[in-house]
Amino acid sequence: MPPRTPEQSPILLLIDDAPNIHRLLAVKLKDEGIDFLAALSGEEGLQLATSHQPSLILLDINMPDLDGFEVLLRLKNEPSTMEIPVIVLSAAHDSELKVRAFELGAMDYVCKPFDVPELRARIQSAIRLTRLMRLLEHRAQIDSLTGLWNRAHLNKRLEAEINQASRKKTPLSFAMCDLDHFKKLNDTLGHPAGDLALQTFAKILQDQIRDYDTACRYGGEEFAIILPNTPVSEAVVVCERIRQAAEVASWRKYPDMNITASFGVCDRPIEGREDAQGWIEAADRTLYAAKQAGRNRVLPFSEIPPDSKSDKSNAPKVRLAG
């Protein structure tokens, strides 16, 4: 499951083997605008933390089979859950246990029997902090000009989609695209026209892809599209639709302006690389070939020269300008 956006209702996950604690907090927190999740064991709590990405975890220390310290350790060692804040609940007032909890990554420690209003205040404070941190993280991954995801987000998202496609044995396609002769457009009509071209092309991307596809501004006039569960033949069709929409776009403020775009589409990385950078390199080399072939076209990875498909290739790393 992707991380929750700042606008979604916060989720509180309670991991405690005592059903009466679950009943108490469910009643006391029902009017707090929080979605409540319950786990009666450490293993169940770990599964729910991974699948639901809660805003906050309340974690009991004294549980059978898997105690709270072990659960906390696993949460903080797992990339998908390590950023979720944890408040430890315990009947023990021992300072050594408190220190251990903080050293393992807990953000707070509340002793049982707890004062409900105080716990409520601590929960709301932790959720506000989490919401702020996620909002900052979210904004840091958005391109300010186009509103698309930026390169930092692309790298993380592509790696995640590669891993998921590998686990589930499902197809994955990735495309790099570039506005043709963009420097000439900027030089001729000015940077405001160039900015408008980028913003309009970004909107075309968003209009043409599906909700679960990811469009990013890679940098300058270059964009990237991640298409999960999509064979390359279908990805080519999507990119061709985007190319055609860009070509016929009209510009009231700049009636003489027109834009075209070139696309490189791959369904695998270059030979010798299995990571996200290998996929980016494959799509980038294909985009280079599309530029060399005359621009304003969609080219799949399968159609580029065989000696350009390997990590050991001497294929050009610098693309034709525009």
Residue that the structure tokens 């805003």 belong to: 55
Q: Residue 224's closest CA among 235, 234, 233, 273?
A: 235
- Give the DSSP H or E segment for 166: helix 151-168
- Kindly give the pairing relationship between strand 222-228 and strand 172-179: antiparallel
pLDDT of residue 7: 52
Cα dihedral 241, 242, 247, 249 sign: positive
- Cα separation, 139 vs 128, in Å, equals 16
CB environment 169-208: b (16+ within 10 A), e (fewer): eebbbbbbbbbbbbeebbeebeeebbebbbebbbebbeeb
Instruction: Take residue 303 and report the two structure tokens written for it.
Output: 């159609």
Rounded to 5 degrees, φ, ψ at 38 are -125, 135
b/e code 217-233 from CB counts within 10 Å (16+ = b)? bbeebbbbbbbbbbebe
Helix axes 19-28, 116-140, angle to 10 degrees: 80
Cα 125–chain centre separation: 26
Divide the 322 residues of the chain into consecutive groups of 10 and give the mean pLDDT of each group: 56 94 89 89 94 93 91 90 92 91 94 89 88 81 93 91 91 97 94 95 95 94 97 97 96 92 95 88 95 95 76 52 59
DSSP 8-class letter at 175: E
- Cβ atoms of 258 and 176 within 8 Å: the answer is no
Give the dihedral sign, CA 122/124/130/135.
negative
For residue 92 the two structure tokens come to 């023990």
Contact 82, 75 (CB under 8 A): yes
Annotation marks residue 221 as catalytic: yes
- HSE, CB side, 13 Å, CA atoms: give it for residue 156: 11
Q: Which residue intervals of 54-150 are DSSP H helices? A: 68-77, 95-104, 116-140
Which of these is catalytic: 221, 247, 274, 303?
221
**Per-residue pLDDT, 37:** 93
Q: Which residues pair with 265 in a beta bridge?
A: 175, 300
Query: Tokens for 61?
Result: 């220390």
- Provide the whole-model pTM: 0.67
Please give the domain boundaries of the chain with CATH numbers for all domains.
11-139 (3.40.50.2300), 151-308 (3.30.70.270)
